[in-house]
Amino acid sequence: MGELAGRRPRYSAQSETEREAAFQRLTQARLERAYRLASILLRDQSEAEDAVHDAAVRAWQRWDDLRDQAAFDAWFDRIVVSCCRDRARRHLPGSIDLLDVDPAAPDEPGRLAAERDGLRRALAALDPDHRAVVVLRYVEDLSVPAIATRTGQREGTVKSRLHYALRQLRAAWDAAERTGGSER
Amino acid sequence: MSSDRYELMERQIREILLEDSPASVPERLRRLISDVPDSAMQGTPGLFQSLTRLRRAGVLLVAVVAMVALVALVAMPLLLHPAGGMPAGAPGVYPSILPGYPTDDPTSQLVATGHVVDSEGQPVAGVVLYVDLFLSPPQSTQCLAAPCQLVTLDAVVSATDGSFSVHLKPNAAILAAAKANGGFADLTCGPRISGFQFTMGDFSLQVEGDHFTALPGPITIVIDTLHPHPPVTVPPYPVPSPAEASVRPT
């Protein structure tokens, strides 16, 4: 009996049906945010679909590693970010086409339009790691420790990447302002 | 940049990023996700998963040994280099001051450049960075019982964009990676701090706690580059001959 107990799979406390049900419930509840995050990170919705699907497969394969289901959101986000980074890196370098950035909306006033355009280009030019921290900070509105959890990086690395990314964006913003101002 | 303009830029960043936000989750993706447990179960297990527990342990052991050997192969030549294995600007292990090295030599220095940021990644200006030389290797409790003996070598103030450039001594360690000597130098921040976390990988020195009462919160000091300036020639470790060792007074 003891020998048989020792051979039980780790997840024996939950039946297979219960495991699947829990996985489906949590994943489907998080799907919309995960898909939005992937779309913004990858700037391509079909790539984002594939990344989220990859993440779901990976999450299911590692389901037994999730000890506390209350931590699912951060755990799944981390897998999504990781899958997006893998996909983005596969397409780098050179896949970011700065000309592919949408131009400013026609009703934006001159200087603001130039600044937004400059920011768009600078955001598109960020590498996947720097883009990820900016997206998590400004779209998901996460703190540095929460970003560190979702990217698997140290807090110091997150701060450093945020600093570098913002420096790039600020430079683009300032340059666009000067250009926009001189055109008027 | 004024704070209003900065806030405007942050708002713009958010709006631009949200332009890539999809309206809703495609039905195809929902279906794919709902099929994940079945499709993942039907898939062929990976090579690693197909091994027995004992074989997995064996594979892991071999991988760990191979990794250690690889690290040793790469790191040992650097560590054994007379100049402490410090190619200009390269991250790595920076040993402490070598025995007998003239630590007061003002002509040979290292230049560390970096930046100071707050918990939000924003630059912090006006932080005074002291480079101190510990006259003896500090023990964990030594500096609590009595102040450690320190000599300030240099001090700089971070600029408006948080950046700084500071002179260190040759082979002075920012972290005590090697402790085979009597000298030990640290990059510390004023006022004196007692607790900090140093990560070698990206030269990130995180200052935690309430050491900076004048600052609104914790700051991070990131060392970007570490260059010998000018290139220094470091005397090799004095290796006593067996005869010298035998006549050493007891």
pLDDT tens digits, one per residue of B126-179: 766 655 555 554 444 444 455 555 455 555 667 888 887 766 544 333 332 222
- Asked if A19 and A81 sit in the same domain, the reply is yes
A31, A138, A154 member nearest B33 (Cβ): A31
What pLDDT digit, counting tens, does each position of A140-171 carry? 889 988 998 888 888 888 888 888 888 888 88
Q: Is residue A69 part of a domain?
A: yes
Same domain, A76 and A115: no
For residue A119, being part of any structural domain is answered with yes
- Asked if B22 and A48 come within 8 Å (Cβ–Cβ), the reply is yes
Q: What does pTM read for this prediction?
A: 0.48
Are A112 and A44 within one domain? no
The CATH number linked to A108 is: 1.10.10.10
Instruction: Give yes or no: residues A102 and A172 share one domain.
Output: yes
How does residue A19 score in pLDDT terms, banded at 50, 70 and 90? Answer: confident
Containing domain of residue A106, as a range? 97-184
Q: Which of residues 117-176 of B touch A (CB under 8 A)?
A: 117-123, 161-162
* Same structural domain, A18 and A87: yes
Q: Hey, is the C-beta of A14 within 8 angstroms of any chain B C-beta?
A: no
Q: What is the pLDDT of residues B90-102, one digit of tens each?
A: 333 333 333 444 4
Q: Residue A47 falls within a domain, yes or no?
A: yes
User: Are residues A81 and A130 both part of a single domain?
Assistant: no
pLDDT of residue B229 exceeding 50, the answer is no
Of A56, A91, A126, which residue sits at a domain end?
Answer: A91
Residues A104 and A57 in one domain: no
In a domain, A1, yes or no: no
Residue A43 domain flag? yes
Single residue among A63, A91, A119 that ends a domain in this structure: A91
CB-based contact A23 B37, cutoff 8 Å? yes
Q: Which of B6, B16, B32 sits opposite A123 (nearest CB)?
A: B16
B35 versus B155: the higher-pLDDT residue is B35
Q: Are residues A108 and A177 in the same domain?
A: yes
* Overall number of domains in chain A: 2
Same domain (yes/no): A177, A114: yes
Q: What is the ipTM of this complex?
A: 0.75
Check: CB of residue A135 under 8 Å from CB of residue A165.
no
- Among the partner residues A43, A49, A155, nearest to B29 by beta-carbon distance: A49
